[in-house]
Amino acid sequence: MLTALLTLAIQSKADLGPIAPSGSSQHFQEGVLQASKLIEAGDFAKAKTFVNRMPQTKVTYRIDLTNVTKERQPEFVEAIKKASDVVKEAFPNFEFKETKKGEDIRFSFVESMSKSELSGLPQGAVIFESFDSSEPILESVISLTRMSGKVSVETSHIQQEAFFAFGRYFGVAHRPGMQGIACRTDGLTVLRPIVVPAERGLIARNLQTVQALREAIDKKTKLIAARVESRIDKLNWDIGRVNQGERPQILIGITNSGNVPIQYFVTPDCSCFLIKSSGVAQPGESSTISVTMDTSAFGGAQYKRLFVYTNDPSNAVVEIPVTGFIVPAYRILSDDPTGDTAYVDDSGGKIVRYLTVSEGQDIVPHEIKVLGVSGSVVFEPWSGTLPDPEIGEGPMPRKGYKITILVSPSGISGRVNATLAILTNNEGFKSLLHGMYVQKGIAAAPNVIYFGEIDHGSVARAWTLLTRPGRPFKILSAKSSSPEFSVTAEEMPGGTYKVVVEYLGKAFPGSLTATATLTTDSPDQKTIEVPIQGIIR
Amino acid sequence: MKAVGVLAASITMFLGLCASPKGPETWTVIIGGQTAGYLSPCGCVKPMSGGIRRKFAQIKELRSKNTLVLETGNLVNGAGRQEVIKGETLAEALKASKVDALFFGSKDWALDPGVLAAFHRLSGEIAISTEPKLLADQELLQSLSKGPFLVGTAENASSFASQSATQKTVDDATQAGLNPVLLTNASEAEAAEIARTYKSLKLIVYQSEGNPSTKPIYIGDTILVSPGEKGKHLIKLDWNGVKFENYQVFDLGPDIKDDPKTAEIFARYQKRIRDEKLLDMVSRTSHTEFVGSESCRPCHGKEFEIWHGSDHAKAFDTLEKSGDFADPECVSCHVIGLDSIKGFQSKPRTPALAEVGCESCHGSGSAHIKDPSVKTPMSAQKSCVSCHNLEHSPEFDFDKYWPKIKH
């Protein structure tokens, strides 16, 4: 009885082909549409060849290491395997196999690539997808250098690009963000490889879509191809000049001119957008996506983006730039070239900040405190000329208050956080907080690299940040006092050094201590020592 | 149309008949947090609640086959080396006890990014933040999905970033067919507002002062829960497949035997405090000289004997037994003159000051023993509350406590 009922149910819906979900890649959506059209035309043999080029749970890949040095080849192979392991963790029934020929996915490497329009950086990798059976289904060409050839690609970047390529193979469209199989970066940031729940659902739905096509072909059931056709209005938005705190609205229209519902969702690249993020537009109908932008947390020229994802192959991913200028209600500025970090010596130090208030705004401080360090604060009305580099404004006349903080050196060891708390008469800006650091010399935070427990035989990694903002320095060498650890120092943007300590997995159980010694080009701090602690179990 | 309806009903009925007799999977959710540096119960009233050794023992006991364990911040109560070590210790304990997700509080975020990254690493990288947060070059996971739940976070109820994060948690959970759970630093009133706005949230964990609510708070089907301050309680909920029920509050009292693994981690914390000599780094703002209670004995023999028989005389022994004798936060109320450069340093260096002695209440006796006509500087009655404060001695009442040491 069940079979009969289900057959009837399937037949009643069998006239319309499957639709790729929104969030799937343009290539995947086109594939679904093309295969559906072949089935609609009754060309099942060609449709089968086509569907065989679409994702399935058994995946083969080949790694072309031609341009990779012999020393790095094993780590690249391992990184790609690790990426496949992460996918397998989310989908235990998937199988990944490295092969020498006839691969679904090919990984290859080139020395460098041209700039990406999206990121403004040289591309870290490029994906090519093909329905031509003489080519791999997908090829990921990965650059061996990043940041205009300045930095050799790290193993973690290879893993990230391979992970992204596997996601793309399964029909996942690129999405802004820092985590997920849909995300990647051309920069140096290492993204954490994880298949987020929404992506897990998307991959499953993509595979169900392919399975539905496959079943129609096997049973030679004719389908009408679902044609999703949409028009998206307002492909760019200028919010104009708005005062900080205002909430401009952005409206994006979606019109459905196809024969099936359009599913859509919107992802912003900024958490300042509040969106009812998903919806459906029925055939012949229009739908409006309303996005509100919160401008209370920042000011200056804005360039942000909204990404609309639909199940229309011609509008699978639509990028909508949002531009404008937010006039800040107030600014807390500094004329100190060292930026947010104030230096104190053994006799203490003086920090000066300016609260500048925009024309027409009523913000009057009645109490100002400094938290996190010992000190006293005085403030007085002020007018003068200051630049505001953070929002791209040069020196210009400003009005407000001059705030002087006299910091006591007691209790400051290395680098500590301090907060200036300005309490005002304005209900909308009752309490203005301004964070800064107070530091003595080059400092590590944390000042001890603590591993906690490490399992005997396993390798572990920990790090600290070495800073002296405003007074750049160089680390000339890095070493460990113990052969159980290796120490490296990586320069990061802003003159910070990331001191990475790796435990090599060979110590006997028990407490393990060592010192990371770093030599610098700073005459007053030629050597920096950071203790390392761990317990081997 | 009618035919389709009948067909759908028939299929539903048939599938219903064929459905597995097994009900939906049940889950246990355990919520702790707001530790704020209180790794161990501290005070002069018994029983004192809290401490990580009891907490993780209790979590172990409450675990069932399907368990989700959530921890909220703040881990620490401010900046400074001791707070960093506390945060690292708590993070290690979270990892050892296989806690699933950690949500940092505002005081945690005020720490240096490298420090917070260390907490994240030591916790087994379980920290999540739906509002994108970078720790140097590493971004926190935006959500956790485990069993039927998707756990997201929102700093508060009102900011756009938080509203977006809440919306994202709800949307992501819906797309994945999971039940959204929100960890927030918002208050109870704000959490209620969130629950009214995002009705599909099943659980909101918020921040509160004092002890947790004794009764469950529901807004529609959303349950609102806070573990209360200073890590003194745990909350346990049961998930019946549709909603949360069986709200239970567990007071982490002395009846709970310490978790051996956490005790080991806590002992390491004590050792690190000792090894880093944090006691030597205490800010000492006075130059007052102290003489110790033994110096008072020749003239005040009777008073000395009464004092000697009291718990005050054994105050430092208590710390030696617990291993906290080098912890500046504990030591200040168990010795004489920690705020003075001439006060307590350590028991071997200043043995006469390793006690709550005559000078703890009466003030320095150095001038008085040279010239008995010079009175000791402090009013003893007023000085009690510097240690017997609401925090450590909530039941303190001079009239009730004085008879215990009357002299």
How many angstroms separate the CA atoms of A465 and B75, rounded?
Answer: 21
Least CB–CB distance from A274: residue in B10, B112, B167: B167
Q: What is the pLDDT of residue A148?
A: 66
Q: From residue A497, how far is each of A288, A391, A444, B14 by CA, in Å? A: 47, 26, 9, 65
Q: pLDDT-derived band of residue A426, with 50, 70 and 90 as boundaries?
A: confident
- HSE-up (13 A, CA, CB side) for residue A28: 30
Let me know if B323 is exposed, middle or buried by CB neighbors in 10 A (0-12, 13-18, 19+): middle
Least CB–CB distance from A178: residue in B139, B150, B164: B139
Distance from CA of B10 to the nearest CA of A (A): 8
Q: What is the pLDDT of residue B119?
A: 96
Q: pLDDT-derived band of residue A142, with 50, 70 and 90 as boundaries?
A: very high
- For residue A10, what are the contacts with CB-CB under 8 A and spacing of at least 6? none
Q: What is the pLDDT of residue B32?
A: 97
Inform me whether the pLDDT recorded for A2 exceeds 70: no
Cβ–Cβ under 8 Å, residues B162 and B185 = no
Mutation target among B160, B274, B278 for the A interface, most CBs of A within 10 A: B160
Contact yes or no for A417 and B88 at CB 8 A: no
- HSE-up (13 A, CA, CB side) for residue B356: 24
Least CB–CB distance from B111: residue in A194, A296, A417: A417
One-letter amino acid at B405 equals I
Neighbours of B129 (CB within 10 A): 23
Give pLDDT tens digits for B120-137. 999 999 999 998 777 777
Mutation target among A1, A3, A5, A309 for the B interface, most CBs of B within 10 A: A5
Report the residue of chain B nearest A197, measured CA to CA: B176
Report the residue of chain B nearest A434, measured CA to CA: B110
Over range B69-87, report the average pLDDT.
91
Q: Strand A393-407 to strand A349-357: parallel, antiparallel, or no bridges (unpaired)?
A: antiparallel
Number of residues assigned to chain B: 407
CA terminus-to-terminus distance, chain B: 94
Q: How many helices (H) and strands (E) does chain A have?
A: 6, 32
The b-or-e profile of A415-431 (16+ CB within 10 A means b, else e) is bbbbebebebebeebee
Q: What is the pLDDT of residue A503?
A: 94
Q: pLDDT-derived band of residue A392, with 50, 70 and 90 as boundaries?
A: low
- Pick from B96, B402, B35: nearest CA to B230: B35
Q: pLDDT-derived band of residue B7, with 50, 70 and 90 as boundaries?
A: very low
Q: What is the DSSP string of B18-42?
A: HS-SS-PPPEEEEEEE--TT--S--
Contact yes or no for A12 and B143 at CB 8 A: no
Let me know if B321 is exposed, middle or buried by CB neighbors in 10 A (0-12, 13-18, 19+): exposed
Contact yes or no for A446 and B118 at CB 8 A: yes
- For residue B368, what are the contacts with CB-CB under 8 A and spacing of at least 6? B374, B375, B376
Per DSSP (E only), the strands in B176-274 are 179-184, 203-205, 217-219, 222-225, 233-239, 244-251
How many angstroms separate the CA atoms of A338 and A335, rounded?
Answer: 9
Q: Dihedrals φ, ψ of B29, to 5°?
A: -120, 125
- Pick from A415, A504, A488: nearest CA to A451: A504
Per CB-CB distance under 8 Å, the chain B contacts of A428 are none
Our CA angle for A342, A347, A352, nearest 5°, is 35
Over range A358-386, report the average pLDDT.
90
Per CB-CB distance under 8 Å, the chain B contacts of A202 are 175
Contact yes or no for B112 and A265 at CB 8 A: no
How many angstroms separate the CA atoms of A84 and A97, rounded?
Answer: 9
Give pLDDT tens digits for A175-231. 877 678 998 888 776 677 889 888 999 999 999 999 999 999 999 998 899 988 999
Contact yes or no for A201 and B121 at CB 8 A: no
Inform me whether the pLDDT recorded for B12 exceeds 70: no
Distance from CA of A247 to the nearest CA of B (A): 10
Q: Which residue has the higher pLDDT, B43 or A113?
A: A113
Cβ–Cβ under 8 Å, residues A122 and A114 = yes
Q: What is the pLDDT of residue B382?
A: 67
- For residue A461, what are the contacts with CB-CB under 8 A and spacing of at least 6? A500, A501, A502, A503
Q: pLDDT-derived band of residue B396, with 50, 70 and 90 as boundaries?
A: low
% pLDDT > 90, chain A = 55
Over range B267-291, report the average pLDDT.
86
Q: pLDDT-derived band of residue A3, with 50, 70 and 90 as boundaries?
A: very low
How many angstroms separate the CA atoms of B390 and B34, rounded?
Answer: 18
Over range A50-56, report the average pLDDT.
94
Inform me whether the pLDDT recorded for A11 exceeds 70: no
- HSE-up (13 A, CA, CB side) for residue A214: 12
Q: What is the pLDDT of residue B163?
A: 86
| Token pair listed for A233 | 């209005």
Contact yes or no for B114 and A178 at CB 8 A: no
- Helices B52-62 and B260-275 sit at what angle, rounded to 10 degrees? 160
Least CB–CB distance from A197: residue in B4, B150, B167: B150
Question: What dihedral do alpha carbons B304, B307, B308, B311 form, nearest 10°?
Answer: -170
% pLDDT > 70, chain B = 89
Q: pLDDT-derived band of residue B254, with 50, 70 and 90 as boundaries?
A: confident
- Pick from A499, A531, A509: nearest CA to A454: A509
Q: In what order do the strands lie in the sheet with A527-536?
A: A449-454, A527-536, A510-520, A475-480
Give pLDDT tens digits for A254-265. 999 888 899 998
Least CB–CB distance from B115: residue in A201, A297, A446: A446
Per CB-CB distance under 8 Å, the chain A contacts of B143 are 196-197
Cβ–Cβ under 8 Å, residues A397 and A384 = yes
Q: Which residue has the higher pLDDT, B391 or B191?
A: B191
Residues 179-218 of A with CB under 8 A from B: 179, 188-192, 194, 196-198, 200-202
Mutation target among B164, B283, B285 for the A interface, most CBs of A within 10 A: B164
Over range A433-442, report the average pLDDT.
80
Contact yes or no for B79 and A278 at CB 8 A: no
% pLDDT > 70, chain A = 92
- Pick from A445, A448, A435, A372: nearest CA to A415: A445
Contact yes or no for A188 and B168 at CB 8 A: no
A276 has a chain B CB within 8 A of its CB: yes
Let me know if B392 is exposed, middle or buried by CB neighbors in 10 A (0-12, 13-18, 19+): middle
Number of residues assigned to chain A: 537
How many angstroms separate the CA atoms of A416 and A372, rounded?
Answer: 7
